[in-house]
Chain A
Amino acid sequence: MRAQDREALPGDLAIWIFIFAELLVFGILFAVYAFARSAHVALFNQGQALLDRRLGLANTLVLITSSYAVARATEAIHRDRVQACGRWLLAALLLGSLFVGIKCHEFARDAQAGMNLSHDLFQMFYLSLTGFHFLHVVMGMAILAAVAAKTFAGGYRAHDCTGVETAGAWWHMVDLVWIILFILVYVLR
């Protein structure tokens, strides 16, 4: 990599504006969650006890690993290794599906336990935060799939890989938000 490449923002400027807007949205949601929790500590503790931390932890590890795969994909395309880039993107996509599978299993379990948006404040926050994040994972997977397809079709090269970097930046954001969400909602009691 040349010096000037390292200094430039990876990916497209528009995606960074979008990422900051999204981080702002999640930031507001987290702040409101913290505010509500401090006002209803007992209720939130009781609600959090219903969650299975193992499932949350498993999903955290899955997403971090998928972020690693995306990073490898970006590195591969910088070295012009198109096939390797495509394979790493597929790996990330597979791990994304695993996240979706685990999360769906968890939602089903929650539904069986009678959780819903109207039951109490904690369940409202838990379901809307994870549900909103879930939609971001699905959207991220759609982006990864599109970029992977274009990679295998030979659409990217080392000097022209903004698409891969853009998808990577978005996916890392989805991962980062989950890590905070996991700690905030599952771990901190």
Chain B
Amino acid sequence: MNLSNRILNKKLTECAYKCLVTFSTKPIQQAPAAAAAATTSPGGSQTQQDAAVSNNTSPARKPLVPPHYRFVYPEFLPDPKIEWRNNIREKLERLDMLDRRRQIDLPEFYVGSILAVTSSDPHAAGKVSRFVGICIHREKCGLRARFILRNVIDHQGVEVVYELYDPTIQKVEVLRLEKRLDDSLFYLRDALPEYSTFDENMDAEHLEEGTPVPVNDIKVVLRPRPWLERWERQNLLGVANIDQYIKEKHRKSALKVQKPWEKFDLMKQYRSTIPEEEQKEIFAEVHTELHTLELQRKRNKRKRTFIKPKQLA
């Protein structure tokens, strides 16, 4: 609970910025006003930058990338394995990713969010198939980025792997934007089915703009052993009843494989992450493009909400 609170606080500050960006999307006359309003907030410099660009008055400043981009677009960061890195390859890959993102709206989502993916399927009757499910895993970077959706349909657990940049994907909708306590939710396979059952005709839940991404601190109940993995060794936060099923020997062996010193291993951390300076460089390259796409998405959303009452009437 404490942890989720902390995350909430962090998100709040980030989203203060988000709000301001929406103001700056309005016509040019309002932009300076928005910029003026922005100066007081932590994320203000970015809006100022936008205003400056639209007015063409002040000299161009180096764009400041919002800090949450690495969570929203994790696949833009390359594989940190040093032997596989190459600047030109990464750049070309990023250009291709942006090209694809211009064609299709790939929204922000996290492990634990509920998505609906519409993809063209040559085998299906209408040549289109739609799958709703909870995202239990996100992996790989660049054009290989993929995620796994899970749902229980007719009391049968089903999982589908989707590649984020696959051109056969027609639409990705986020039905409920939220996070969970863990980085991957493979334990849902061993949990009771109600924890991964989602209605296929679920409506998208609208999240107020500017609110932080909520963290769902639900604790799932596991089925008795045998399990697919040794969950007791993975220090999971989102599981309620793990102690109920493990014996003393499991507990002991779990203790044995713990590596509590790893969080102090700076070298390991360095090798498994992209340094902050490089992240800044990468996002500075794609930031303007991503930002315009975001703005466009918001505009479209507003349009859609405007049309709705018409349909009702």
Our verdict on whether A and B bind, yes or no, reads no
Chain B positions near chain A (C-beta within 8 angstroms): none
